[in-house]
Amino acid sequence: MLALSRKINESIMIGNDIEITILEVKGDQVKLGINAPKSVPVYRKEIYLQIQEANKEAAEATVSDETLKKLFQ
């Protein structure tokens, strides 16, 4: 892990097209601004993990032959 120190209105670049800017610091909370192409999804980690879990459950779900027949009628 790379650890960097930044002040308000200072940024870091990830690759050529993702910029993360420190917008505000209040106590132990930091507000970030993320400028990235629309093709790059940006999620809070807890939401990302929920999406991953839901995708895993959906991939593991079994569908009966009867359910498939009803879908294609």
Question: How much is the CA Rg of the chain, to the nearest whole Å?
Answer: 20
Q: How far separated are the first and last CA of the chain, in Å rounded?
A: 53
Query: Domain coordinates of the chain in residue numbers?
Result: 11-71
- The token duo for 12 is 């870091």
6-30: per-residue pLDDT in tens? 999 999 999 999 999 999 999 999 9
- The token duo for 32 is 């970030």
* pTM: predicted TM-score of the whole model, two decimal places: 0.73
39-65: per-residue pLDDT in tens? 999 999 999 999 999 999 888 877 777
Judged on CB neighbours under 10 Å (0-12, 13-18, 19+), 61 is exposed
